[in-house]
Structure 1
Amino acid sequence: MTEIAPLTRRELRERNTSTRSPKKARGGVISALLTGLSLGALLFVLAIAALAIVVPRLANGTALTVVTSSMEPALPPGTLVVVTPTAAEDIQPGDVLTYQLRSGEPTLVTHRVTQQLLTADGERLFITQGDANPHADPDPVREVQVRGTVWYAIPYLGWVSQIVTSDVRAIVIPALACVLAIYAAWMFVSGLRERSRRQSTAAPAGD
């Protein structure tokens, strides 16, 4: 009778590896893709939250929404602009200025500075014009009307800001970020466990 020698542990691992089903391999690829997508979504939400809420607060700025087409194509309607306080002497032609239409009133306008004037008593005046407008604004902007200049802008995010109030936005965005963070962490840990299991299965060992 012919005797059959028992398989060593290495041979058993090699046989298990070679007979691994394509379905499990596809599952590992899908899991890795989901993990990458989750992390990407998390980073995107955190970046948007930082740019729309955290950074403006740290810089003593204000997030505003462009609602007209006067600044197209640079700032189309729906653009979120972050405006930071700027000293009058630092404002130059070419800067995008946010100012009160009338001093003390809440209505704001965001137009580009085309010219700076200096009155006899030393007050600075700014001639402004929308990029899409054929003519300059009718009245010069006085220093007391100036709220600041546009620091940066995020297209389309302003529409979300219009729909969601600042109080709700301050709750919803961090909550969404937390949910995505938990999901991404779970997917990441699951991926690490699966990779560790595969490596331990395939690692060579003595007979």
Structure 2
Amino acid sequence: MRHIRPRRRSATRFVGQVAAWGVIVGVTASIAAAVAAPRLAGATPYAVLSGSMTPTYGVGALVVTRDVDPATLGVGDVVTYQLRSGEPQTATHRVVAVRQQLDGEREFITQGDANAAADPLPVRPVQIRGEVWYSVPYLGYAHTWLDPGQRGLAITVVAALLFGYAAVMLAGAARDRVRVRRAIV
């Protein structure tokens, strides 16, 4: 029977593996935050395109909003709303005042955290797309660079690469295990 000394891992290989796992965990967490969690919860991701909410949400952040009953909103809540009712352009700002109109409908006065003054037009409940649930810094850049079809393709490619990496790691571990068994016998 031959005695085999266990191979020592080089520091470079160890650092490489730690870095690879860091990338895998980071990519997986990003996908979960940007795609899986919003889809499962019925929420909607939006990219922050201006600095009006700095430092709370910086340019390039991804804010995820979920549906909210406008009757439950109050001062301090951060909402995403249509700039003009029925149009796709949105903004994400903080509610700084709530007013009651003569017909009983509520309206919200909003303001960006970095802005010196409130927004010029009040926001009607029909314009509210949701209340901010959470945000992920810098992930909004990827959201704006890719259209919805490209996002789906990018997620598929990243998932395939992660599974491929896992398969290579498992195959390498199995190969090493076989070598050790052969050497012992």
The equivalent residue for 1:179 is 161
The equivalent residue for 1:25 is 8
88-97 or 35-44: bigger deviation? 35-44
Give secondary structure in 1 for the equivalent of 2:161. Answer: helix
Percent pairwise identity: 41
Matches of 2:116 and 2:11, distance apart in 1: 59
Look up the equivalent residue of 1:82 and give its one-letter code. V
Quote the offset at 1:192 in angstroms.
5.1
Higher Cα radius of gyration: 1
Look up the equivalent residue of 1:125 and give its one-letter code. E
Detail structure 1 runs of 4+ shifted over 6 Å in the superposition.
Answer: none
State the Cα deviation string for residues 162-181 of structure 1 (Å, max 9, x = none).
Answer: 11111111111222121122
Quote the offset at 1:25 in angstroms.
2.4
Matches of 1:191 and 1:34, distance apart in 2: 16
| Stretches of structure 2 lacking an aligned partner (at least 5 in a row) | none
State the Cα deviation string for residues 40-75 of structure 1 (Å, max 9, x = none).
Answer: 323322221121122222222221111111110111
Q: Residues 181-196 of structure 1 correspond to what in structure 2 (within 5 A)? A: 181-191=163-173, 193-194=175-176
The answer on whether the counterparts of 1:39 and 1:184 sit within 8 Å (CA) in structure 2 is no
Give secondary structure in 2 for the equivalent of 1:25. Answer: coil
State the Cα deviation string for residues 102-159 of structure 1 (Å, max 9, x = none).
Answer: 1112221111011222234321111111100111112221111111111111111111
User: Does residue 144 in structure 1 map to residue 126 in structure 2?
Assistant: yes
Q: Could you say if the C-alpha distance between residues 120 and 29 of structure 1 is closer, same or farther in structure 2, counting changes exceeding 3 Å? A: same
Q: Could you say if the C-alpha distance between residues 192 and 140 of structure 1 is closer, same or farther in structure 2, counting changes exceeding 3 Å? A: same
Q: Residues 1-207 of structure 1 correspond to what in structure 2 (within 5 A)? A: 9=1, 12-13=2-3, 16-17=4-5, 24-26=7-9, 30=13, 34-191=16-173, 193-194=175-176, 197-198=179-180
| Stretches of structure 1 lacking an aligned partner (at least 5 in a row) | 1-8
Give secondary structure in 2 for the equivalent of 1:114. Answer: strand
The answer on whether the counterparts of 1:99 and 1:145 sit within 8 Å (CA) in structure 2 is yes
48-57 or 35-44: bigger deviation? 35-44
Compare relative contact order (CA 8 Å, sep 6+) and give the higher one, 1 or 2: 1
Look up the equivalent residue of 2:127 and give its one-letter code. Q
Matches of 1:189 and 1:33, distance apart in 2: 20
- Give the aligned length: 185
Q: Could you say if the C-alpha distance between residues 55 and 26 of structure 1 is closer, same or farther in structure 2, counting changes exceeding 3 Å? A: closer
Give secondary structure in 2 for the equivalent of 1:149. Answer: strand
Matches of 1:28 and 1:83, distance apart in 2: 44
